[in-house]
């Protein structure tokens, strides 16, 4: 057949009756397959079976992505109050070295040599805090860049961590975070301690705020005012901030041990951290004014080259809040702060020591003090709930007394 003849044959219109017959045949076959599967007790399939082909690396990755997407969809589609069952799904779906999104939180479980201890590191940035550090135990990295301070859906996160700890059989749990995530460590740690009264929950809170509600216009931290501005525009966030905006209850729980690490020469950090007191609450002041005690302790005991590179990274990532609270940051000041903190344990030493903390007995008058504190917080809650809504102020200029040399 010549090329002209082939072109002529392909240009001929198809028989409409034959096409209709083929369509009817396909529909009849699909109907028979449905009836056969229903008769066998299975679910009908809308698509004909395909031949199995050897799976490639790309297919395997696609299947893993589908499984993670299915786990996320199951969690997101759950009812608002049914977080117990969805957290079980998350505990089963999470895998070592694989991230999982859960109601706005991003979780990443990294296994270590010691699988009996779990360190939970909270972050309020898109990435994970201390992700490049090496640990000798399992680490659960958690990020919540969507809502500052971990006040929204915090009970879901605490329950998910509890289920994960039960599934992998961790004997000891420590939670840490800095600044906004430091408040999150206090809040999530307290909620986790209430869920697991038989466990001791150890908390490392670096320069945290112990309460963010009620709103205080005189504060100078821009991120604090932005968080309240976001909450004022969203009723759900506003209610979450009212309900979870005070983490001082964590000091009253019988199964929590808290260490407050704060910048000694930063008036705001020191004042907030010293508000939290209790039989199992201790304080570690770091001789610096920078609102980043984690970074200072992270370079204690390291070589000069490591300190120099670390200072360069710190200066490249200084946030607006840190600039406002420290009154200016420069390399020489940071270098001197690290030298002044040489007598303190390093960050890794603090984390390792936290797993060995034990509860101290409470004094006889402590239950009365707890009741008085709770009554005061409840009265404060109702008092501010009946007052007119305050005007949310923008970023304020740094006060002269923010940093004291």
328: alpha, beta or left? (left if phi > 0; alpha if psi -120 to 50): left
- pLDDT, position 205: 97
Residue with token string 């304080």: 283
Q: In sequence order, which residues have a C-beta less than 8 Å from that of residue 324 and are 6 or more positions away?
A: 220, 221, 222, 395, 396, 398, 402
Q: What is the pLDDT of residue 398?
A: 40
The pLDDT of residue 68: 60
Distance CA 175, CA 61 (A): 32
Q: Residue 42: its pLDDT value, please?
A: 46
CA 393, CA 405: separation in Å to the nearest integer?
28
**Cα 220 from Cα 4, distance rounded (Å):** 83
pTM of the model: 0.74
Q: How far is CA 341 from the centre of its chain?
A: 28
User: How confident is the model at residue 257, as a pLDDT?
Assistant: 98
Q: How many residues in the chain?
A: 405
How far is the C-alpha of 271 from the C-alpha of 103, rounded, in Å? 33
pLDDT of residue 249: 95
pLDDT on residue 6:
45
Angle at 86 between CA 159 and CA 43, to 5 degrees: 160
Rounded mean pLDDT for each run of 10 residues along the chain, 405 residues in total: 47 59 78 64 44 54 64 46 51 68 85 93 86 91 82 91 91 94 96 95 96 85 83 85 92 96 91 95 92 88 85 71 59 86 93 96 95 91 81 56 38
The pLDDT assigned to 45 comes to: 42
The total of other beta-carbon atoms located within 10 Å of residue 1's CB is 7
């Amino acid at each position: 057949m010549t090329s002209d003849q082939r072109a002529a044959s392909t240009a001929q219109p198809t028989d409409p009756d034959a096409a209709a017959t083929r369509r009817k045949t396909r529909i009849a076959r699909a109907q028979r397959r449905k009836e056969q599967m229903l008769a066998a007790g299975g679910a009908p399939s809308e698509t004909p079976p395909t031949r199995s082909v050897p799976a490639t690396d790309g297919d395997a990755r696609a299947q893993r992505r589908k499984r993670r997407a299915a786990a996320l969809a199951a969690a997101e589609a759950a009812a608002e109050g049914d977080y117990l069952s969805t957290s079980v799904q998350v505990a089963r779906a999470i895998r070592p070295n694989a991230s999982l999104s859960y109601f706005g939180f991003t979780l990443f479980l990294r296994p270590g040599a010691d699988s009996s201890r779990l360190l939970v590191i909270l972050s309020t940035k898109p990435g994970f805090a201390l992700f490049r550090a090496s640990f000798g135990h399992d680490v659960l990295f958690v990020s919540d860049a969507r809502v500052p301070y971990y006040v929204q859906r915090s009970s879901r996160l605490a329950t998910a961590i509890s289920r994960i700890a039960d599934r992998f059989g961790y004997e000891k749990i420590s939670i840490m975070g800095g600044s906004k995530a430091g408040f999150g460590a206090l809040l999530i740690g307290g909620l986790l301690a209430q869920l697991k009264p038989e466990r001791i929950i150890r908390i490392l809170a670096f320069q945290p705020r112990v309460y963010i509600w009620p709103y205080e216009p005189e504060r100078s931290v821009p991120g604090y005012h932005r968080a309240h501005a976001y909450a004022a525009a969203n009723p759900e966030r506003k209610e979450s901030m009212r309900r979870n905006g005070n983490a001082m209850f964590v000091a009253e729980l019988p199964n929590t041990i808290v260490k407050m690490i704060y910048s000694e020469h930063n008036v705001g950090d020191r004042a907030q951290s010293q508000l939290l007191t209790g039989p199992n609450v201790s304080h570690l002041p770091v001789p610096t004014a920078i609102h980043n005690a984690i970074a200072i302790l992270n370079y204690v005991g390291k070589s000069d080259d490591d300190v120099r590179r670390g200072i360069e990274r710190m200066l490249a990532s200084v946030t607006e809040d840190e600039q406002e609270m420290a009154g200016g940051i420069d390399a020489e000041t940071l270098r001197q702060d690290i030298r002044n903190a040489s007598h303190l344990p390093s960050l890794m030493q603090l984390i390792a020591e936290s797993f060995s903390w034990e509860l101290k007995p409470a004094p006889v008058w402590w239950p009365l003090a707890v009741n008085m504190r709770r009554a005061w917080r409840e009265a404060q809650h109702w008092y501010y709930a009946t007052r007119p809504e305050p005007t949310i102020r923008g970023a304020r200029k740094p006060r002269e007394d923010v940093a004291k040399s």
